[in-house]
């Protein structure tokens, strides 16, 4: 800290509580606010790590990440997968996003992402579109601005994952043709 600023203390040093319990109780009486990943953040939140078979989901009440299930098929998420905060879709969940980047990241972290396309999907008869995005801070992916710039094999892998990941649960999923970044931006705006 500079320019004459003082570090703010967590409690008043002149009235030091005599025990740890008193300090804890004292801190609980002050109002504290924690950010809720769905309501309070403005950037993408990762729920599922690239390479994982574990399907995590945001618990809407607590804001914590919970294990939903382990995938029934012998497939893993091809990229980090999560949601866009402050959005709501027809399935009463936030808008899903698949984030292309070099490395897996831990569930519950947030990052800056750029939408480059939309993958329209029907999951058991309901719309469940996915935004395809790139990590804005990954030097290998940040230069992509539209899904048509991705290698065809990358798109084939993404499509195939979503076509297959629920097959052994006897659930029907249909993936339609990928749409450009303008469609992704419209979907994000519509879901806000």
The catalytic residue positions are 77
**What is the spatial distance between Cα 46 and Cα 48, in angstroms, rounded to a whole number?**
6
Question: What is the C-alpha to C-alpha distance for residues 137 and 29, in angstroms, rounded to an integer?
Answer: 39
Rounded to 5 degrees, what angle do the CA atoms 33, 39, 69 make? 105
**DSSP three-state, residue 184:** helix
Q: Do 160 and 129 contact (CB within 8 A), yes or no? A: no
Q: Are strands 173-175 and 110-111 parallel, antiparallel or unpaired?
A: unpaired
Are the beta carbons of 85 and 38 closer than 8 angstroms?
Answer: yes
Query: Could you tell me what percentage of the chain is helix, strand and coil, using 3-state DSSP and rounding each to the nearest 5?
Result: 20, 25, 50
Contact 95, 187 (CB under 8 A): yes
């Amino acid at each position: 800290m500079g320019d004459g600023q003082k570090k703010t203390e967590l409690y008043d040093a002149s009235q030091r509580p005599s025990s740890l319990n008193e300090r804890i109780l004292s801190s609980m009486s002050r109002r504290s606010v924690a950010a809720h990943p769905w309501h309070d953040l403005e950037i993408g939140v990762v729920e599922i790590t690239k390479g994982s078979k574990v399907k995590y989901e945001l618990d809407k009440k607590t804001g914590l990440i919970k294990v939903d299930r382990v995938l029934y098929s012998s497939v893993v998420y091809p990229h980090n997968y999560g949601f866009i905060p402050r959005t709501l879709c027809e399935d009463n969940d936030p808008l899903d996003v698949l984030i292309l980047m070099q490395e897996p990241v831990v569930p519950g972290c947030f990052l800056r992402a750029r939408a480059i396309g939309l993958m329209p999907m029907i999951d058991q008869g309901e719309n469940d579109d996915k935004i395809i995005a790139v990590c804005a801070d990954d030097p290998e992916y940040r230069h992509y601005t539209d899904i048509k710039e991705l290698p065809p094999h990358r798109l084939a892998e993404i499509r195939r994952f979503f076509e297959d990941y629920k097959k052994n649960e006897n659930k029907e999923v249909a993936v339609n043709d990928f749409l450009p970044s303008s469609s992704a931006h419209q979907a994000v705006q519509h879901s806000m």
